[in-house]
Structure 1
Amino acid sequence: MELPKVVGRFIETQNNYDSKAYAACFTDTASVHDEGKTHTGKEEIRQWIEHANEAYQSSMQPLNYEQSGSKAVLTAKVSGTFPGSPIVLKFHLGFKDDLIDSLKVTG
């Protein structure tokens, strides 16, 4: 499956637990909505993913990718130390200037 560079980096940095490089995939004003909370800006996103990495040690395996204009949905199998692992999640992505500007994670 062919992925845009930023999506490939997003997956790679998640799987390497590199929270700084993960946050660098996002715009300065990006927002992430996950588990009922919204995190805005690179620093909040870095803190969120750093906490999630420590708590869940999750990695993702892309299953499907569909993009239309500046919006995309990445479907991935996510494995980690959380109840019910592995699960399939959808990552709803919005792009701006070749970076991720919005991310919403759904089950």
Structure 2
Amino acid sequence: MSVITLPKAVGDFIAATNAHDATSLATVFSDTATVRDAGKTWTGEAELREWIQGHLIDPKVVLTPTSFAGDRLIASGDGDFPGGPLSFALMFAIKHDKITDLAIEPV
């Protein structure tokens, strides 16, 4: 099995998501970050905390990276939601080890 090398912010995002740690997860994003997921956009700290809780913490999402190239992570996601596990593409923009933009799409 090959080892996938991730940028620090992406590795921190995966670790905090899998630990179901909303506080740590919020710290991997910049104050003005944007997340696009499930046909909606969340921007800024308050909206991101809402997205984190509703889309990652409450459904107890666990992400298993399968590949990473450029800014695109492919991961299997499982949790308390129907149809799992599902494959997702997560496209990251990172500045100063903080996620500034994240777009998530089913693969």
Contact 2:9/2:94 (CA < 8 Å) preserved in 1?
no
Gaps of 5+ in 1: none
Residue 20 (structure 2) aligns with:
17
TM-score (norm 1): 0.90
Q: Which residue of 1 aligns with 2:100?
A: 101
Cα distance between partner residues in 2 of 1:31 and 1:94: 10
Q: CA deviation at 1:88?
A: 0.5
Structure 2, unpaired ranges of 5+: none
Q: Which runs of 4+ in 1 moved over 6 A?
A: none
In 2, the alpha carbon distance for the partners of 1:40 and 1:64 equals 27
Amino acid in structure 2 at the alignment position of 1:61? T
Equivalent residues, number: 102
* 8 Å Cα contact 2:29-2:100 kept in structure 1: yes
**Aligned amino acid, residue 17 of structure 1:** H
> What pairs up with 1:3-82 in 2 under 5 angstroms?
3-52=6-55, 53-54=57-58, 56-67=59-70, 72-82=71-81
Deviation at 1:37, TM superposition (A): 1.0
Q: Which amino acid aligns with 1:83?
A: P
The Cα RMSD (Å) is 1.0
TM-score norm. by structure 2 comes to: 0.90
Post-superposition Cα deviations, 1:5-51, rounded to whole Å, max 9, x if no partner, equal 11111000000111111111111110001111111112211221112
